[in-house]
Structure 1
Amino acid sequence: MSNSKEKPLPLHIKSIYLHEDKIEIRKYQVDIVLECIAKNSLVVIPTGLGKTIIAILLAAKTLEISPPNSKVIVMAPTRPLINQHYETFLEFLTIEKDQYAILTGKISPEDRPNEVQSHQMLFFTPQTLRNDLVSGNYALNNTCLLIFDEAHHASGDYPYTMIADLYESQNPDGTILGLTASPGSSQQAINDLCLNLHIPSSNIHIRKRKDADVKGYIKPMDIYKIGVNLTSLMEDVRKVLYMILEERLKYLSQLGFLKVHTDKLYEKVIRKDLLE
């Protein structure tokens, strides 16, 4: 639901690549996008407030200022998410459908280079893109925008980290956009995330549910807890896990690290006991 009290959208968010009659653009989205153009950026915004719309707006503006036939790559950790992004970008951008391609492990490595060559809007699972880049099947030198959805995954050996490194080396003038609702519980986690995605700490754009420009779009959530009966297989797995946990806790108890001394330690020991 749009807010009639909001300021009119600035003209420079308009784009030949946008179906403006289909898309509801909110002022906070515009403000964020204008700060992300041609800058590696991290956008942290609660679920349901339009991260994908921000990505679409930035894609449109980035294509406008990029050489002809430049490509946009969108990544997400799962195939359902990739399919969802594909449908949303297709709905709101004016780029023809024959310029879109979804690339996952279902498409053979031999066929993927041709798919990349012949399409402008590319939707990848991270593992697929990393494997192809490592194999040298193609490069990212003509990719103007690289979008990392669920960017908080960019740690350790997750493909996002290597892909960002390769993109920076192959196309230092390209733009990276990281999107997440949960960047980490500490400042250090956020700093590490930005480092892994080559995003300056000055280019982090955060919105919280209580912020004035977004709270009007927050919808109340009803949370229901539904209990289910475990199957016999689940019960067997639970027993094995409890047995393993009990062995570890008894070992800690024998070493004097636990104040609790009883059978079935897994039922008595809490996180506080372990931290102490």
Structure 2
Amino acid sequence: MGDHQAAAAGDGGAAMEEPIPPPPPTDPETMARWYQLEALERAVRGNTLAFLETGAGKTLIAVMLLRAYAHRVRRPESRRFAVFLVPTVVLVGQQASVVQAHTDLRVKQFYGEMGVDFWDDATWRSAVEDGEVLVMTPQILLDNLRHSFFRLPEIALLIFDECHHTKGNSAYACIFKEFYHPQLNSRVSDPLPRIFGMSASLIYSNGLDPHKYSKNI
């Protein structure tokens, strides 16, 4: 014991203290309610739309799903990432913060004020190189797909916040009409992203049968 103490102090100064590692992210499943866990189970199995009232914890389901997909975005043999789409710039920061608080995934934020409209392919590739979850507004993803900066097979999980905006010629709707559905109906075997949509509102369409909500989206 004495020899060990002498060796520790024998370099002419106090021993360096190792930095304390940050605490692990809180596991959201420990605070999830039964209906959130049920929605998670369904989302892991297939494309899912979650309609829950405001304050019911839709984002928590999305975070749990991101954790479940972590191994898919970390496969060294295939570079893929998750994309979390939100309709406003304010929500970009809010949802990115929630994901960072409850996962150890590397989160990147993108919005128009960053000048992304003027980025070329090389700039985008550099910006997302080490990102595992990309939080952005839908127009940014749509523009990237149109310019072939991103391809759908690169996206393992695609989350649509406030998915009731998926109608008409909205950016949400165009992502499906121009890219997702054509590839789904083609013979190309490239993987498509898992889709998770969430909203507190039903789709605004007069006379729409409630049983056709998911088909409408």
TM-score, reference length from structure 2: 0.72
Q: Counterpart of 2:109 in 1: which secondary structure?
A: strand
Q: Which residue of 1 aligns with 2:128?
A: 116
Q: CA RMSD in A?
A: 2.7
Q: Counterpart of 2:31 in 1: which secondary structure?
A: coil
Q: Which residue of 1 aligns with 2:69?
A: 62
Q: Which residue of 2 aligns with 1:146?
A: 158
Q: Counterpart of 2:84 in 1: which secondary structure?
A: strand
Q: Which residue of 2 aligns with 1:81?
A: 91
Bigger drift between 17-26 and 42-51 goes to 17-26
Alignment of structure 1 residues 98-177 onto 2, 5 Å: 99-105=106-112, 106-108=114-116, 109-110=119-120, 111-165=123-177, 166-167=179-180, 169=183, 172-177=191-196
Relative to 1, partners in 2 of residues 1:40 and 1:187: Cα closer, same or farther, differing over 3 Å? farther
Bigger drift between 63-72 and 105-114 goes to 63-72
Q: Counterpart of 1:145 in 2: which secondary structure?
A: strand
Percentage identity across paired residues of the two chains:
25
Alignment check: 8 A CA contact 2:28 2:64 kept:
no
Q: Which residue of 2 aligns with 1:94?
A: 104
TM-score, reference length from structure 1: 0.57
Give ranges in structure 1 of 5+ residues lacking alignment. Answer: 1-16, 198-276
Q: What whole-Å deviation, never above 9, does each CA across 1:116-170 have from its counterpart, x for those lacking one?
A: 3331110010111111111112212121110000000000000111223424528
Give ranges in structure 2 of 5+ residues lacking alignment. Answer: 1-23, 185-189
Relative to 1, partners in 2 of residues 1:113 and 1:21: Cα closer, same or farther, differing over 3 Å? closer
Q: Which residue of 2 aligns with 1:45?
A: 52
Bigger drift between 78-87 and 180-189 goes to 180-189
Bigger drift between 85-94 and 173-182 goes to 173-182
Alignment of structure 1 residues 105-254 onto 2, 5 Å: 105=112, 106-108=114-116, 109-110=119-120, 111-165=123-177, 166-167=179-180, 169=183, 172-184=191-203, 188=208, 194-195=214-215, 197=217
Alignment check: 8 A CA contact 1:38 1:62 kept:
no
Supply the distance in 2 between the matched residues of 1:116 and 1:159 (Cα, whole angstroms). Answer: 21
Aligned residue pair count: 178
Runs of 4+ in 1 over 3 A off after TM superposition: 64-67, 170-173, 189-193
